[in-house]
Structure 1
Amino acid sequence: MKSKLKWGILSTADIATEQVIPAMITSNFCEIQAIASRSAEKAQRVAKQYGIPVSYGSYNELLADENVEAVYIALPNHLHVPWSMKALAVGKHVLVEKPVGLNRTEAEKLLVASQKYPHLKIMEAFMYRFHPQWIKTKALVQNGAIGQIKAIQSAFSFFDDNSESIVNRKDYGGGSLMDIGCYPISLSRFLFDSEPKSVSATIEYHPEFKIDTRTSGILEFDHGSTTFFSSIRSADDQTAKIWGSEGSIEFDIPFNPPANNPTKIWLTRAGNREEIKFAPANQYTLQADAFSRAILENTPVPTSLIDAVNNMHVIDKIFESDAAGKRIIV
């Protein structure tokens, strides 16, 4: 078995250059072979900065590189599905940034296309699930440490009013729900290990940009519910807390804890509050290695594309709930 998978990076977006590329460089199972940008100059600059052997001034050129076995797609949301499909069509494995597409219809289109290539792997990049704090939390929940989950409360926010930012571009699939609100939805489905029965939401739209600047939602599951808040016009913050019939779990930094710092969660049960500490961990490295190992060892990917389709379905229903002004059955 080969020891490392050869990667190509589609895009020089910040998420790629500031997070994923450095993470892959320190990984055990990844070797970055090439990077592509619409600007050849920018691709060359990033390649030189990180010691990437080859740079391209177009995405198609990278896909034509026979040395590239898998691609990481960090393009704006509206380009996720078309470029994932192009990559699969030329025999590349695909790790595509979240959200997988603009809506469930797009996500299902990609799922159907991927089924034509059973020898290729594809996964949506929700990196938080690979951090030890979430792996531990999932195990605690599954083992009944807090009893049956009754409620989850989470929030994710930052401030960005730059009209040129992709989060403020409706045609790019911007907005708070698509950019960061997808995390609370994902973690709720992850922990309840099921799909919500109904959703209720209120959304605040920007009068000019037409994207949601704030979304508040309630997801109802069979045995509990989750409430969440996302905003791109609020101070930087992120929270998550889970209540069960016998205890609770609270996070310090739930979604993007710094890779170089330890993190912690608090487990409360029987009146005792226990702090559980985790050594520094780069969740982007762990994600890249997990996906690479699935390819190298020909095992299932950690998260199937069906999960991505289901997450998009809930996002669609949240938009629908706000538009209709009522609770929507999922």
Structure 2
Amino acid sequence: MQENFVDYVKVYCKSGKGGAGSAHLHRSRITSKGGPDGGDGGAGGSVILRGNNQMWTLLHLKYRKHIKAKAGENGGQNQSFGAKGDDEIIDVPLGTVAKDAETGEVLFEITENGEERVLRQGGRGGLGNTHFKSSTFQTPRFAQPGEPGEEGWNILELKVLADVGLVGFPNAGKSTLLSVVSAAKPEIADYPFTTLTPKLGIVQYRDYRSFVMADIPGIIEGASEGKGLGHRFLRHIERNSMLLFLIPADCADMRKEYDILLKELERFNPELLDKQRLLAISKSDMLDDELEVEMTEQLKQELPEDLDFLFFSSVSGKNLQGLKDRLWQLMNKDA
């Protein structure tokens, strides 16, 4: 699989230096000792992130380690102001989080299309000598230098924006589900960790409505401590409006598997437990009607009362529409 999904980059950003103010004194054929007429320097360009809803990866920044905006021009005579330096505008996907690489501080998050946020502010231009003239000081022969730009390393992280996030152990059937309910084509195989990068799919619903589902790499016990793919994929779940837990019908202990998944999410971020949850038992085409009824009664005894669950099969199509109906109801519960 071609690795074209990049959700983490570290870049060195430098904004432009402000232009220096001019210390020029007016001179002409008729004036040999004119007053100050130095113009201000132009502001340096800023490094700006702009949200773009047509993008879904930070791949375009993977090999661009240095981002630099233009410096402002110096002021000139006859109160001529220096031109502002060009900003360096970087388009990024929605859900991009900007951090200071040294401190780890979160600076901001881009969530709207066309939203612009300044990552590194350009330096202010220096004032020309006209600003320093007074009744007692007629000919100032000095001006301000421009301010230096800001520079340093920044981290950009992408959190996938989706309505439904699929949560489950490797090989729970998440990729298969996404492939049958949407046009997404994730890689599918009968071994763990097939899904190494999040996949998004548009799920068509009734009356031309739709919602976005994200297949997130399989969680394993210890993921919150960085084992397996660890934090790299758990952060994507933060942006989903609800979570769909997938546990296969041939699982030996469904309650235990559900509790492990829940515990990993809680360790990473307790706020994840505040999201709407639905448990779906995948691969239920392996069950006959009698066994499904028996398992339903058993799950009602074992699972928390407030946890809704249902059986479905991506392979046979069993109850797929019922699953989409229940997801839609939960997503629009408070609407």
TM-score class, shorter-chain normalisation, is under 0.3
Q: Which one has the bigger helix percentage?
A: 1
- CA radius of gyration, larger in: 2
TM-score, normalization by structure 2: 0.22
Q: Flag the structure with more relative contact order, 1 or 2, with Cα contacts below 8 A and sequence separation at least 6.
A: 1
| TM-score w.r.t. length of structure 1 | 0.22
Which has more strand, going by share of residues?
A: 1
